[in-house]
Amino acid sequence: MIFLRQGIRMNRNNAKTASLLSRRLVLKGAGAVMGLPWLESLPVWGSDESEKVDSSPIPKRFGVQFMACGVNHEHWWAKGSGASMELGKCLEPMQPLRKKMNVVSGLFNQSAVGVGIHPGQTGNILSGAQLQKGSELRGGISVDQVIANAIGQQTSQPSLVLGCEQPITGYHETNFSMAYSSHISWQNATSPVPMEVYPSLAFDSLFDNRGNRRNQSVLDRVKEHAEALRRQVSADDKAKLDEYLTSVREVEKRIERARDDKKVASDRAAMPSESLVTMNRPDNGLPEDIREHMKLMCDIVAIAFQTDKTRVASLLLCRDISGLLYPFLDVSSAHHGASHNDLNDAYLRITQYYVSQFAYLASKLDSMPEKDGTVLDHSCLMFINNMWSGSKHDSTKVPLILAGCLGGALETGRVLDYGDRSDKDRKLCSLYLSILQRMGIEQTRFGDAENALELL
């Protein structure tokens, strides 16, 4: 099984490079791992401690939580602003975070409307791309991966792509592949990013530094090849092979430096400190209870953000046409079936449950101090659903919440409704473009949008 993305990134903002990066995973590993918060665990190469703290700007993070098949939209509303904001029942779990969030309504993807229900409304939720029916998958790169391509090389993992439900790849009746229903993060037009479903493996990919070790072993080995060849040959040939050997050694040194940095961080983690973060490695296998599963995945995103292992995460809480069951919510049918009665009380409980996952992650990040604020203050979390109404399969607008002020780049505590605007002024891709720009990524268009979202 293959899931997370991993690779050395050399060249930022370079789509070509991005498409070349190794997508293979690096997994397995240690027991309990301690991570350091970003400030202490991110040494700048060659600089000493004091410089580090002053010179590195606090990183900005972007995280998405996805829920499928709509919400109980009768109770999905918000009015007012800041501390006095009033929230509909669906949004109640967000009550304590009102000042740090925006409820955004009325946005949509043009290419997810009128193409048939479900997969065609989902596989482009983060890209805005037209999806192709039939055997060949074709859509577009998703916003989280655009960010990962731009800033991912600064962290050990360009992005975390997690899910709580395995993908399905058959054909829906609309003749779209079910792969579109199963993946929101897309590496490029034709391939989704492999999604990690096992918490233990997601955890390992962040903390066990396996990729570097593997590369080092390979380099050691080829160095021996070159040395063996070198013994017998002319001076000119020796010089060529020396060039090779020097280059290998130099790359090895870089890897070693990266590993040393990690060791420093680990050593210091052993010392008691107020800001110390710990998380035990989750057990192998899949948690039986979906509540435990989702909580673990949120915890992993939180620790990854805090320790700056990655700055981009997407978490598919359930896929489209989800088969998740909620006995603990006293709902008998599975998620998809339940969504066909989206205005009843059962689906209200389901919606609330999902929003509470978002509240959990946001609060967790908000409890992590960072400089003069919290990790949440330097992040932008987004909760999004592919439909407004599951019974009507309506994607002409989608439910969306943002949390975190992205280091001050994003004003919060607001209710924004774009529902009355013309279609070109309520594009999801405009929102994504705004987020890209506010994360410092210079881009003038994304998906079907050429303008950032007004009023955001």
Partner 1 sequence: MFLTARIIVVLLISILNLCCVRGDDSLPLHLANEFKQEVRPLIQAHCAECHDGETREAELDLSLYQSVEDVIRSYRVWETVLHRVAMGEMPPADASSQLSEEQRKVIVDLIARVRKFEAERNAGDPGAVIARRLSNAEFDYSVRDLTGADIHPTKTFPVDPANEAGFDNSGESLTMSPALMAKYLEACRVITDHMMLTPDGIAFAPYPAVTVTDRDKYCVQQIVEFYRRQPIDLADYFYASWTYRHCDLLGSPHATLDEVATQLHLSPKYLRTVWEVLVPQERFGPLAALQELWESMPTPTEPDSNSAKAARAISERMRRYVFSTRKLFSPSIQNLSIKGGSNGSQPMVLWKNKQYMKYRRVADFSFLDIDVLATQVAKSFDVPEESNLAQFKADCQRFCSVFPDAFFISERGRDYLDEKNNEGTVRLLSAGFHSMTGYFRDDQPLYDLMLDQAQQRELDSLWRQLMFVSTTPQRQYQSFLWFEKAESGFMREGKFDFVRSEDRESWTAPMIDRLAEVYLEKAIDAGSDEITLDAVRNFFIEINDQIQWVEQTKVASQPDQLDAVILFASRAYRRPLTATEAQEFRDYYHLLINRDGLSHEEAIQDTILTILMSPQFCYRVDLLCDTDKARPLNDYELASRLSFFLWSSIPDEELLSHAAVGDLHRPERLVQQVQRMLRDDRIRGFATEFTGNWLDFRRFEEHNAVDRNRFESFNDDLRKSMFEEPIRFMVDALKRDCSVLDLLYADRTFVNATLAKHYGIKDLSFVESQWVEVSDAARYGRGGLLPMAVFLTKNSPGLRTSPVKRGHWVVRRLLGERIPAPPPNVPEIPNDESQLGELTLRQTLAKHREHPSCAGCHDRIDSIGLAFEGYGPIGERREVDLGGRQVDTMAIFPDGSSRNGMDELRDYLKEQREAEFVDNVCRKLLSYALGRSLQLSDEVLLEAMRDQGRKDGFRIGTLVTTIVSSPPFLSKRGRGATANDFFEAGDTDE
Residue from the set 101, 324, 380, 441 that interacts with partner 1 by CB under 8 A: 324
CA distance 362 to 382: 10
Residues near 226 by beta carbon (within 8 Å), at least 6 away in sequence: 241, 244, 245, 248
Closer residue to partner 1 in complex, CB, 306/339: 339
Residue from the set 64, 197, 355, 362 that interacts with partner 1 by CB under 8 A: 197
Residue from the set 58, 113, 168, 277 that interacts with partner 1 by CB under 8 A: 168
Residues near 322 by beta carbon (within 8 Å), at least 6 away in sequence: 68, 69, 165, 334, 335, 336
CA distance 294 to 410: 27
Residue 431 interacts with partner 1 (CB under 8 A): yes or no:
no
DSSP string computed for 301-366: HHHHHHTTS-SEEEEESS-TT-----GGGT--S-HHHHHTTTTSHHHHHHHHHHHHHHHHHHHHHH
Tokens 């655009």 map to which residue?
146
Residue from the set 189, 286, 329, 409 that interacts with partner 1 by CB under 8 A: 286
Site for partner 1 in 336-355 (CB under 8 A): 336-337
Residue 20 interacts with partner 1 (CB under 8 A): yes or no:
yes
Helix (H, G, I), strand (E, B) or coil at 277: strand
Question: Shortest CA distance to 96 belongs to which of 379, 367, 304?
Answer: 367
Minimum separation from the CB atom of position 426 to partner 1 (A): 30
Span of 47-55, 127-135, 267-275, 408-416 interacting with partner 1 by CB under 8 A: 127-135
CA distance 338 to 325: 10
Minimum separation from the CB atom of position 4 to partner 1 (A): 10
Minimum separation from the CB atom of position 327 to partner 1 (A): 9
- 425 CB-contact burial (10 Å; exposed 0-12 / middle 13-18 / buried 19+): middle
Minimum separation from the CB atom of position 23 to partner 1 (A): 4
CA distance 150 to 167: 27
Closer residue to partner 1 in complex, CB, 199/413: 199
Minimum separation from the CB atom of position 350 to partner 1 (A): 13
Span of 1-9, 260-268, 295-303, 398-406 interacting with partner 1 by CB under 8 A: 1-9
Residue 172 interacts with partner 1 (CB under 8 A): yes or no:
yes
Residue from the set 56, 130, 154, 174 that interacts with partner 1 by CB under 8 A: 174
Residue from the set 10, 53, 343, 455 that interacts with partner 1 by CB under 8 A: 10
Amino acid at 216: Q
Site for partner 1 in 224-283 (CB under 8 A): 225-226, 229, 232-237, 240-241, 243-244, 246-248, 250-251, 254
Minimum separation from the CB atom of position 107 to partner 1 (A): 27
379-385 and 61-67: which strand pairing?
parallel
Residue 322 interacts with partner 1 (CB under 8 A): yes or no:
yes
End-to-end CA distance of the chain: 40
